[in-house]
Amino acid sequence: MSWKTLDDMDMAGKTVLIRVDINVPVKDGVVTDTTRIERIVPTVKDVLAAGGKPVLMAHFGRPKGKVVPEMSLGQIVPALEAAFGQEVKFAADDFEAAAADLKDGEILLLENVRFFPGEEKNDPELAASLAKLGDIYVNDAFSCAHRAHSTTEAMARALPAAAGRLMGAELSALEAALGNPERPVVAVVGGAKVSTKLDLLSNLIEKVDHLVIGGGMANTFLVAKGVEIGTSLAERDMADTARAILEKSENTGCTIHLPVDIVVAGEFAAGAANETLPVDECPADKMILDAGPATVESLKGVFAECKTLIWNGPLGAFEIEPFHKGTFDAALAAAALTAEGKLKTVAGGGDTVSALNKSGAAENFTYISTAGGAFLEWMEGKELPGVAALG
């Protein structure tokens, strides 16, 4: 997969329309987490340095094609100004006049593009009208790339288009993890339900050498293998599907790893009395809440054999102690191998990012995606419209 970057574009004196994701949490009109804003700074700064005039396009919330004052991007302006270290002009309406008045060195933010009914319908007329505002289109919102919307897909076909710095970094990391990875490759997939990750599992067993299944998903696979799991969370009606995945993995040469020992408790509560048992000895009145230490040691051995790791989902109920230990210990082992230059590590998904941050492993991972749905669809092998349009 190839795409143009900012370095391929002559931006001097040109208006550059940049699709960004600044759909950030806001409380009482104040942004409470500026992570997404900080991640777009390099692109905007580089456009300015190249003599371009950045015009930012973004959505906020789900106004469903109507003007909803509470979802105005105007409330994001102070956080943008703090991140960029300069004034950010805001156009609530009359985008054309605002873009025409923009001077060298200035930044403009347009009002919530989802206020337009045509945005989520990928309306070519809306894309064409927005394209008239500038000379170059840049997509720096990988997290929105799985949506075929006017500002993520149609506009990329209406103007000379390139990937922004954040989009480029994301695509490069993903290409290195699944597109053309160093082998062997191991994927860790956790979470509650097999049913939500069927496409993901089916794709991965054709692409990776080792697949680690954790969390509630692992329980469903244990049931499929005839292992009793007490009162643990599981989708027993998915047992046949799990068996089919296990059989398919034998044909693709992918080794599936399930827990060999488990941490069980009588209740899902912080500090609950617990014990570690072999995987086939779960008491009828207990539930599995984490992978045990022998499982983690086994995974450390798998990680040490591999060159590339992709991670999506925890190994247990990491949100509450002491059931965080399996996920944290495995993550820290992967992080240590990464720090030693022995393993490339790419991770994504809300729970995954949270677990890696809490464990302290995040700082040593090669790349952590905050893209959510787009990251998952990429792992499922699906074409992302916003990325395809840049090709």
Q: What is the pLDDT of residues 86-134, one digit of tens each?
A: 999 999 999 999 999 999 999 999 999 999 999 999 999 999 999 999 9
Catalytic residue among 36, 165, 207, 286: 36
> What mean pLDDT is reported for the chain?
95
**Average pLDDT of 224-235?**
96
Q: In sequence order, which ranges of the chain are alpha helices (DSSP H)?
A: 35-49, 77-84, 95-101, 124-131, 155-158, 165-174, 198-207, 215-224, 239-252, 293-305, 325-339, 350-359, 373-379, 385-388
Q: Is 348 annotated as a binding residue?
A: no
Report which of 134, 92, 99 is spatially closest to residue 113, judged by C-alpha positions: 92
Catalytic residue among 105, 179, 350, 360: 350
- The tokens for 241 are 């599907």
Annotate 79-107 with b (16+ C-beta within 10 A) or e (fewer): bbeebbeeebbbbeeebeebbeebeeeeb
Please tell me the predicted confidence (pLDDT) of residue 370: 82
Domains 6-166 and 173-379 belong to one CATH topology:
yes
- The tokens for 3 are 């795409």
Q: Is 303 annotated as a binding residue?
A: no
Q: Is 23 annotated as a binding residue?
A: yes
Residue 22 has pLDDT above 80, yes or no: yes
Q: Is 81 annotated as a binding residue?
A: no
Please say whether the beta carbons of 332 and 361 come within 8 A.
Answer: yes
Please tell me the predicted confidence (pLDDT) of residue 179: 86
> Nearest 10 degrees: CA dihedral of 162, 166, 167, 171?
120
Fold type of domain 6-166: Rossmann fold (3.40.50)
**Average pLDDT of 326-351?**
96
> Which amino acid makes up residue 250?
E
**Average pLDDT of 177-199?**
91
Q: Is 60 annotated as a binding residue?
A: yes
- What are the residue boundaries of the structural domains of the chain, listed by start? 6-166, 173-379
Residue 198 has pLDDT above 80, yes or no: yes
- Rounded Cα distance between 45 and 260, Å, is 50
Please list, in sequence order, all residues whose beta carbon lies within 8 angstroms of the beta carbon of residue 244, skipping any fewer than 6 positions away: none
373 part of the active site? yes
**Average pLDDT of 227-244?**
96
Report which of 124, 129, 133, 126 is spatially closest to residue 157, judged by C-alpha positions: 124
- The tokens for 47 are 């456009």
Residue 170 has pLDDT above 80, yes or no: yes
Which of 20-29, 43-52, 195-204 is predicted most confidently? 43-52
Question: What is the per-residue pLDDT across 133-159, written as a single tens digit (0 to 9) for each?
Answer: 999 999 999 999 999 999 999 999 999
Q: Answer whether 0.95 is exceeded by the pTM.
A: no
- The tokens for 233 are 């969370």
Q: Is 149 annotated as a binding residue?
A: no
> Which amino acid makes up residue 47?
V
Please tell me the predicted confidence (pLDDT) of residue 376: 87
Residue 332 has pLDDT above 90, yes or no: yes
Coil, strand, or helix at residue 46?
helix
Fold type of domain 173-379: Rossmann fold (3.40.50)
Confidence of residue 1 (pLDDT cuts 50, 70, 90): low
Catalytic residue among 193, 243, 248, 300: 193
Question: What is the per-residue pLDDT across 247-284, written as a single tens digit (0 to 9) for each?
Answer: 999 999 999 999 999 999 999 999 999 999 999 999 99
Count of H-run helices and E-run strands, the chain: 14, 17
Query: What is the Cβ-side half-sphere exposure of residue 159, based on CA atoms within 13 angstroms?
Result: 30
- Rounded Cα distance between 247 and 257, Å, is 13
Query: CA gyration radius for the chain?
Result: 23
* DSSP code of residue 232: -
- The tokens for 330 are 């495995």
- Span of 58-62, 131-135, 284-288, 371-375 with lowest mean pLDDT: 371-375
157 part of the active site? no
- Tally of CB atoms within 10 A around 383: 10
Please tell me the predicted confidence (pLDDT) of residue 194: 87
Please say whether the beta carbons of 330 and 215 come within 8 A.
Answer: no
Q: Is 349 annotated as a binding residue?
A: yes
> Can you say whether residue 243 is alpha, beta or left, with left for phi > 0 and alpha for psi between -120 and 50 degrees?
alpha
286 part of the active site? no
DSSP bridge partners of 110 = 91
Q: In sequence order, which ranges of 90-214 are alpha helices (DSSP H)?
A: 95-101, 124-131, 155-158, 165-174, 198-207
* DSSP code of residue 382: P
